Amino acid sequence: MRGKTPFLAAFEGWATHRPPAWEQAFSSDVASAILGREACTGSTVLHYQEAVAGSQGEAAYQEFVERVGEDVIALARALNWSAVSPPWLRGRPSRRLDEHTFAYGQGDELVIYRYDPDTCTYGPVAYAQPPRWRERGALEAKVRKAWEAAERWPQEGQAEYEATLRRWLALAGEEFALVIGAAGLSVPLNEEWMIACALEPRLVGEYLDAQVSVGLRQLDLLAASGVRYANGGGDLASKNGPLYGPRFFAQVVLPRYKQLIDHARRKGIYYIFRSDGDLWPIADMIFGEAAAPAFNEIDYDSGMEIPALQERFPQLTCIGNVPCGLLRTGTAEEVRLFVRALKEKALPRGRWVVASANTVLPGTPPENVFAMLEEASVL
């Protein structure tokens, strides 16, 4: 089977001789090396490319957005992927401060981002208001703002979301399955919100309810457009486990996930739960009780291994698990040995999509990407 059929097979549990391939994020510099030209495809390099284009005006930014779609499709064809995704974009900066530094937002919401060309990182270096715990009133204001944004979404966000859906459906055509970000749910992983989990769980729940409100609408739009794969979830763990406890997850977060996963199921959509880190302390809740049908960003280096997941959750579709660090710093032979061992255990059970554990990072040698896909029998 070629094209998008193997992707559906991995979600339906059909027997196949090879797994499908897909990456939710693929660094632009690595794609450029593979395609033999400058490409805009993903990761922090893409966010810097976006900031540069966005600082040059609306026309330059729209040209950049068009190019992203074309480059992702070209890369998917070169690597024989079965699915494609719109890369996550940060949006246009409010102004450019110097060659590598950009401002986003204004007033109390101003954040300064900086790109480091040596490490290809792009992240916040200064805040007008650092995300620290202040007092309940400050948190209540953020919850109100989240609900105001959710209530405005049908008028202000839905049209843009539908336009993205239409454009990427046209790009994917009959050649690729389309996996699109939808119905994500997360507590911000910073000091303010982690303290809020302990002191103000009710307010955190209200904040998540605003996300659920938008997520349900997004799932409805996916179903109406014929899109079957929602890349949802949200980061919540490190290599040492969830950043908030299993009890808080069970009482506050899990019921909201159930709403999204159940709604997706009723709409005929596969909800992909996405988070790296060690999720074993809450895995039975996510993949058992809530019955999320798929798991993305499976973090081998944090102890999450597909064969163990398949043993505990036979109906779970597993995506990734090839360590990002191994792909970036290992040899092609080391990558082959890892993928060979994984394939021997995972493929007989089906429900496996070969991919990096999270992202093909900047600086990853193209030969290691080819080694991963060749050993999995994708290329």
In order of 26, 126, 180, 214, 263, the CA distances from 221 in angstroms are 26, 36, 11, 11, 12
Give the pLDDT band (50/70/90) at residue 379.
confident
Joined tokens for residue 165: 């859906």
Between CA 96 and CA 120 the distance in angstroms is 18
Nearest CA to 272 out of 85, 81, 34, 66 is that of 85
pLDDT at 317 over 80: yes
- Summary mean pLDDT of the chain: 96
As a whole number of Å, the end-to-end CA separation of the chain is: 13
pLDDT tier for residue 15 given thresholds of 50, 70 and 90: confident
Q: pLDDT tens for residues 242-271? A: 999 999 999 999 999 999 999 999 999 999
User: What pLDDT digit, counting tens, does each position of 52-91 carry?
Assistant: 999 999 999 999 999 999 999 999 999 999 999 999 999 9
Plot region of 177 (φ>0 → left; ψ -120 to 50 → alpha; else → beta): beta
Give the model's confidence band at 2: pLDDT under 50 very low, under 70 low, under 90 confident, else very high: low
What is the rounded distance in angstroms from the CA atom of residue 29 to the CA atom of residue 25?
A: 12
Whether the pLDDT of residue 1 is over 60: the answer is no
pLDDT of residue 3: 82
Helix (H, G, I), strand (E, B) or coil at 101: strand
| pLDDT tens per residue across span 177-230 | 999 999 999 999 999 999 999 999 999 999 999 999 999 999 999 999 999 999
Report the DSSP beta bridge partners of residue 178: 84
Strands 229-233 and 177-184: parallel
DSSP 153-200: HHHHTHHHHHHHHHHHHHHHTTTSEEEEEEEE-----SHHHHHHHHH-
Structural class in CATH, domain 5-37+133-375: alpha beta
